Amino acid sequence: MRILVVEDARSLAEVVAEGLRDQGMAVDIAHDGLTAAAKLDVNTYDVVVLDRDLPGIHGDTLCQMITERDDRAMVLMLTAAGASEDRVSGLTLGADDYLAKPFHFRELVLRVRALARRRPFARARILRRAGIELDPAQRTATRDGRQLELSVKEFALLEALLQAGPAFLSTEDLLEQVWDENTDPFTNTVTVTIGRLRRKLGSPAIITTTPGVGYRIGDAAEH
């Protein structure tokens, strides 16, 4: 799951981003509307956490721009204004949900996950393939009924492969979906994390690697 946090208060943006990363999400940050618009032109996001009062391009305008895009992200609008009329006006602009500051971080996480599930063409809540069952909301994963103890990145990597399966995901695809724009594209972190994940999944091996193509988890009958 890839998230864009658009917040001009840098300390708050960093806290929100780090908290979402701890939940296994890939998170980019923009501190103004112009930077956010540029990132939206380059990357595909599941959810945009959008502050309303932004420099450059106002949050209201940016929200309208997002809703007019094909394959658009869901928008969670943040604002210091908590009055009902402010909430209504925010939703009228096309925001999918609204959260007034200050907020409880746990609520923010739940709302982000709920919006990602509502996004058009979003995958099923519980992912199943090749004996694996993964629940992103509960952050649980099993193989043939055996509980898997996965790190945050291992869990996110497995989720991405299950969502894509039986299609392949390249190293670049995985860096974009599981890590974020600050990750060195020449790093071997994907290879290392895949190796750890394979060991935890156990035998028989179910992650297929095709050089020059990428990684995938096929159907159970293939393994």
pLDDT tens by residue, 47-71: 999 998 899 999 999 999 998 887 7
Span 99-123, mean pLDDT? Answer: 85
Edge-to-edge strand ranges of the sheet holding 146-147? 127-129, 132-135, 140-143, 146-147
pLDDT tens by residue, 160-190: 999 887 889 999 889 888 887 777 766 789 9
Instruction: Identify the helix (H) or strand (E) that includes residue 29.
Output: strand 26-30
Residue 180, pLDDT score? 74
Regarding whether 136 and 203 lie in a shared domain, the answer is: yes
Regarding whether 10 and 112 lie in a shared domain, the answer is: yes
Q: Give the tokens for residue 212.
A: 């020059």
Cα–Cα distance measured from residue 130 to residue 200, given in angstroms and rounded to the nearest whole number: 15
Residue 221, pLDDT score? 44
Q: Return phi, psi of residue 73, to 5°.
A: -80, 160
Q: Which residues contact 57 (CB under 8 A, 6 or more apart)?
A: 32, 33, 34, 36, 37, 65
The last residue of one of the domains, among 118, 138, 173, is: 118
Regarding whether 197 and 156 lie in a shared domain, the answer is: yes
Number of structural domains, the chain?
A: 2
Regarding whether 90 and 6 lie in a shared domain, the answer is: yes
Residue 84, pLDDT score? 57
Among 44, 47, 177, 30, CA closest to 111 = 47
The last residue of one of the domains, among 118, 144, 170, is: 118
